[in-house]
Amino acid sequence: MAALFGVRIFIIQHDCGHGSFMKSRVWRDRIGYVCSFVTGVPYRAWQWEHAQHHAHSGNIDHGDIGEVTLYTAQEFLSLTERQRFYYRLYRYPMVMFLIGPAWIFFFSYRWAYWAQFKGQKQVAQSIWITNAYLIFMLSAGVYFFGWSFLFVYGLTIYFTAVIGVWLFYVQHQFEETYYERASEWDAQESALHGSSFFKLPKILQWFTGNIGFHHIHHLNPLIPNYELEKCHYENELFQEEAVTLTLSDCWATMQLKFWDEQRKKMITWSELKRYYLA
């Protein structure tokens, strides 16, 4: 339950980063920073990286920042055996959804980000501000409540990260998603057809801040989370065009490993062997 509330707080931080949560920029940033102290996600650094995701989502030639690493079938076949092994390991569900979130939240957001953003003063500062607060908060927690405080907080943040990574994956990595080369890429097509409508039970929809209406969010990130559902159901086009996924579809999406440029769809390892290695 604590992790679910962590996801809800992160969605508020997410909206503040997009400039959509409220009109006042000053208060958006203040709230965003406070949320980042709870989630452990550096506010400015994540804001910059996530902007790259929105600017290039679905663009095969710009899949390096803020994206789940994805190779096309032909790119994968051109790799060495060792590179193929590492990619398949990376895309293995146990690694991506259980080990990956720990790496991102406990290492990447703490240290690796610094190398990426050291040339951007304000962005880099948000990393150290977040780290300094976490050290202070965790030290105080251990002092007053014992080492169990560190365990509980770490476990909560870990499961928040697991849910967050899983949501981000399902919202873009599905069979009929949209990927094109830079010369053919279209932002609106990517938003509408490269982002799923992840239809969740109402309670999970609330905890995830309506982020399941992801096609709407990518079409216009300035729409706050509390207006996404209304926007979706007031426009028939979105209901007709968006790919709808439910919880029962999640396992199938986790088996998808490659983008097949010939067939214009995501394919599994078995399908790649059948189509290209038989």
The whole-angstrom separation of Cα 105 and Cα 234 is 37
Per the CB < 8 A criterion, the answer to whether 214 and 171 are in contact is yes
Long-range contacts of 221-227 (CB under 8 A, 24+ apart): 221/18, 221/20, 221/54, 222/18, 222/19, 222/20, 223/20, 224/15, 224/20, 224/21, 224/22, 225/11, 225/12, 225/14, 225/15, 225/20, 225/21
Whether the Cβ atoms of residue 101 and residue 164 lie closer than 8 Å to each other:
yes
Give Cα 182 to chain centroid, integer Å: 21
Determine the pLDDT at residue 250. Answer: 92
What is the structure's pLDDT at 124?
80
Give the up-direction half-sphere exposure of residue 121: CA atoms within 13 A in the CB hemisphere. 0
pLDDT of residue 118: 63
Q: Which residues of 176-187 are buried (b: 16+ CB within 10 A; e: fewer)?
A: ebbbbeeeebeb
Per-residue pLDDT of the chain (278 residues; tens, 9 = 90+): 999 999 999 999 999 999 999 999 999 999 999 999 999 999 998 998 899 899 999 999 887 677 899 999 999 999 999 999 999 999 999 999 999 999 988 888 887 666 666 667 777 888 889 999 999 999 999 999 999 999 999 999 999 999 999 999 999 999 999 999 999 999 999 999 999 999 999 999 999 999 999 999 999 999 999 999 999 999 988 988 899 999 999 999 999 999 999 999 999 999 999 999 87
What pTM was estimated for this model as a whole? 0.90
Cβ atoms of 8 and 37 within 8 Å: the answer is no
* Alpha carbon distances (Å) from 74 to 79, 169, 273: 9, 22, 12
Contacts of 117 (CB under 8 A, 6+ apart): 45, 48, 123, 124, 127
pLDDT of residue 120: 75
Instruction: Please give the pLDDT value at position 30.
Output: 95
Contacts of 132 (CB under 8 A, 6+ apart): none
